Chains A and B, each alone.
Chain A
Amino acid sequence: MFISIFSAVESGVIYALMALGVYLSFRILDFPDLTVDGSFVTGAAVGAISIVNGVPPILATVFAALAGFVAGSITGILNTKGKINPLLSGILMMIALYSINLRIMGRPNLALLNEPTLFNQIDGFWGGLGIDKTLNGLVESMGVDSLPGTWAVLIIMTIITIIIKLVTDYFLKTEVGLALRATGDNEKMIRSFSANTNNLTIVGLGISNGLVALSGSLVAQYGGFADVNMGIGMIVIGLASVIIGEALVGTRTIAITTLAVILGAIAYRIVVTLALRADFLETGDMKLITALLVIIALIAPKVVSARKEAVRKKRKRTLLASQRKEEHSA
């Protein structure tokens, strides 16, 4: 049990970068960008093929993010310069990327089992620190018997994800970031303040898909393979993370919302892991579970707040009625 939750959190932190990307397009730019299904694989493919060809993993990961940036920018160009509707621009790019990803890898599946990756490269250095021993000792003393092999992935990924979150928070408060947010909020207004909304949309989608591809390449290195079909339904997983996080943590400020998205990505992985432990569910049911989760996360907050409001009104009315009664009797 501990082990499966542990690996759920571990992959949740890696997928959180993808969720942050989806948050940028879906919420900040108000652009439902389906490029994600393709650009996630592009990241994995570029990262994997670079590593197989001897590029150092850190550089391969940077290449992957850049490839995602290019893919997202093209979606932005289709939308702004080509005047194609946002949904359709994303779908066209997603389909085009499927073939491009196959070309990049040269075949549908690429294994990284005996290759260096970001994660196994840090193993040697990590082992010397003795953090695993300390943390495992701590967990063992709490009565858990099956222990994770290494905490390196979780801790390193948490640090990377937090750094990217903080950079995103800062960026969205800069002059360019404010204009980017206004592009999604009131495009006509920000154009009347001399901002080039076309370029902002293109750059915004570029950054968004850059994060998605970065996440894709890390997932490939973590799992030990890149597969041309690994991106199917990725946009829905990203949306699930954003929506679950917002429902759980709230959206009061940008910093809180980006934290919400990261926690949402982790919560999503935990829920799926727990659901798959049920005997009647199979691995193939994951997409169905995801869809149901998104539906629940979208409907539940509305039902809850309507219910709260009804209770509040009822209480107020009974209070008024009893006050009136008292006045009568007095």
Chain B
Amino acid sequence: MLNISSVSITFNEDTQDEKKALQDIDLTLDKGDFVTVIGSNGAGKSTLMNVISGSLKPDIGIVEIDNKNVTSIPEFKRSAFIGRVFQDPMAGTAPSMTIEENLAMAYARNKRRTLRTGVNKKRKLLFIEFLETLHLGLENRLTAKVGLLSGGERQALSLLMATFTEPNILLLDEHTAALDPSRAELITNLTGEVVDKFQLTTLMVTHNMQQALDLGNRLIMMDKGQIILEVSGKEKQELTIEKLLHEFQRIRGEQMANDRAILG
């Protein structure tokens, strides 16, 4: 479904601030795969997301979705088959427009936008049906402006808007990080439900190790622009936070030893 091969990207190349954000990344997601991505700040997680969504173009390498090379397709066109939820709960919805209007815009994602009304009776019923799955009572507030909703409600709506058109790829970029613990848990559970319901091929970046272990069938760890660990299937189910940290230190330790050998 998603195929990334030998992707590299360097920021501020040939200057003092040069940063190799991604180094020769290979990653393949099969249909229905749910991959969680962890790693420290600056590991390249967000850059990887941006390369997939098309807001960044890799220096070298290829991004394929559904066996189609999309590397040079601009972001807005690519988003016809990519759903995305951002970290900022304000980023995924238009505040001065109503809930039904926001859903109508998301509904038009993979269609040609026409001069017909965005919200009609048939769609309204569909929106109500989807909003009910959130259990937040938003189905009774269709004509409320989204700016009036709380952060948690907005993020739940963003998640729904990103998923209900069943995109080929779902990108979740630390989408629970800006919420309080109880709201974060709600969104985490909703994420599990919705990905399961639509069998979405998903890539989720998170700083929360427990979340990375609870969700998904695969896990990758990134550091300094490289994928340093890949775990899947049964192995992932048996993984604990301690094991993960231990593994991280082991790999990093080896690298440091290698660096020292080279420098020495």
A residues near B, CB below 8 A? 170-171, 173-179, 181-182, 185-186, 188-197
Please report the C-alpha to C-alpha distance between residue A174 and residue B108 in the assembled complex, in whole angstroms: 11
Q: Are A194 and B109 in contact (CB under 8 A)?
A: yes
Q: Are B93 and A186 in contact (CB under 8 A)?
A: yes
Please report the C-alpha to C-alpha distance between residue A186 and residue B90 in the assembled complex, in whole angstroms: 9
CB-CB under 8 A from B104, the residues of chain A are 175, 178
Q: Are A173 and B109 in contact (CB under 8 A)?
A: no
User: B113 is contacted by which of A170, A179, A191, A192 (Cβ under 8 Å)?
Assistant: A179
Q: Mark B102-116, 1 if CB is under 8 A from A, else 0.
A: 001110111001111
Interface size on B, residues (CB 8 A): 34
Please report the C-alpha to C-alpha distance between residue A188 and residue B50 in the assembled complex, in whole angstroms: 13
Tell whether B58 is near chain A: CB-to-CB under 8 Å: no
Q: Which of B3-59 contact A (CB under 8 A)?
A: 53
Can you identify 8 A-B contacts, CB atoms within 8 angstroms?
A173-B119, A179-B108, A181-B94, A185-B96, A190-B94, A192-B92, A193-B106, A194-B78
Tell whether B75 is near chain A: CB-to-CB under 8 Å: yes
Of all chain B residues, which has the CB nearest A196?
A: B76
CB-CB under 8 A from A188, the residues of chain B are 86, 91
Q: Are B101 and A178 in contact (CB under 8 A)?
A: yes
How far in angstroms is the closest Cβ of chain B from A250? 14
Contacts A190-B105, A196-B76 given; does A173 touch B117 at CB 8 Å: yes
Contacts A174-B117, A175-B115 given; does A193 touch B97 at CB 8 Å: no
CB-CB under 8 A from A185, the residues of chain B are 94-97
How far in angstroms is the closest Cβ of chain B from A110? 36
Please report the C-alpha to C-alpha distance between residue A148 and residue B135 in the assembled complex, in whole angstroms: 62
A189-B91, A192-B82, A194-B79 are known; give 16 further A-B pairs, CB within 8 A.
A174-B115, A174-B116, A175-B113, A175-B116, A176-B113, A176-B114, A178-B105, A178-B118, A185-B96, A186-B94, A192-B79, A192-B84, A193-B79, A193-B106, A194-B80, A195-B108
Tell whether B77 is near chain A: CB-to-CB under 8 Å: yes
Q: Which of A170, A177, A186, A194 has the most CB of B within 10 A?
A: A194
Instruction: Give chain B's interface secondary structure class.
Output: loop
Question: What are the 3 A-B residue pairs with the smallest beta carbon separation, nearest first?
Answer: A185-B94, A175-B113, A194-B80
Q: Are B84 and A173 in contact (CB under 8 A)?
A: no
Q: Are A189 and B118 in contact (CB under 8 A)?
A: no
How far in angstroms is the closest Cβ of chain A from B113? 4
Q: Which of B94, B97, B114 has the most CB of A within 10 A?
A: B94
Q: Are B76 and A197 in contact (CB under 8 A)?
A: yes
CB-CB under 8 A from B106, the residues of chain A are 193
CB-CB under 8 A from A173, the residues of chain B are 117-119
Contacts A186-B91, A189-B93, A191-B79 given; does A179 touch B115 at CB 8 Å: no
Please report the C-alpha to C-alpha distance between residue A173 and residue B103 in the assembled complex, in whole angstroms: 13
CB-CB under 8 A from A189, the residues of chain B are 91-94
Q: Are B113 and A195 in contact (CB under 8 A)?
A: yes
User: A175 is contacted by which of B79, B82, B108 (Cβ under 8 Å)?
Assistant: B108
Please report the C-alpha to C-alpha distance between residue A174 and residue B78 in the assembled complex, in whole angstroms: 23
Contacts A189-B91, A191-B76 given; does A181 touch B97 at CB 8 Å: yes
Q: Are B108 and A193 in contact (CB under 8 A)?
A: yes
Contacts A173-B118, A192-B92 given; does A182 touch B113 at CB 8 Å: no
Q: Are A195 and B93 in contact (CB under 8 A)?
A: no
Please report the C-alpha to C-alpha distance between residue A185 and residue B116 in the assembled complex, in whole angstroms: 21
Please report the C-alpha to C-alpha distance between residue A197 and residue B86 in the assembled complex, in whole angstroms: 19
Please report the C-alpha to C-alpha distance between residue A188 and residue B75 in the assembled complex, in whole angstroms: 10
Of all chain B residues, which has the CB nearest A171?
A: B115
CB-CB under 8 A from B84, the residues of chain A are 192
CB-CB under 8 A from A179, the residues of chain B are 105, 108, 113
Q: Are B118 and A193 in contact (CB under 8 A)?
A: no
Please report the C-alpha to C-alpha distance between residue A173 and residue B80 in the assembled complex, in whole angstroms: 21
Please report the C-alpha to C-alpha distance between residue A182 and residue B119 in the assembled complex, in whole angstroms: 15
User: B77 is contacted by which of A174, A181, A194 (Cβ under 8 Å)?
Assistant: A194
Q: Are A175 and B92 in contact (CB under 8 A)?
A: no
Please report the C-alpha to C-alpha distance between residue A72 and residue B116 in the assembled complex, in whole angstroms: 24
Please report the C-alpha to C-alpha distance between residue A95 and residue B131 in the assembled complex, in whole angstroms: 50
Please report the C-alpha to C-alpha distance between residue A93 and residue B118 in the assembled complex, in whole angstroms: 33
How far in angstroms is the closest Cβ of chain B from A95? 32
Of all chain A residues, which has the CB nearest B119?
A: A173
CB-CB under 8 A from A193, the residues of chain B are 79, 105-106, 108-109, 161
CB-CB under 8 A from A194, the residues of chain B are 76-80, 108-110
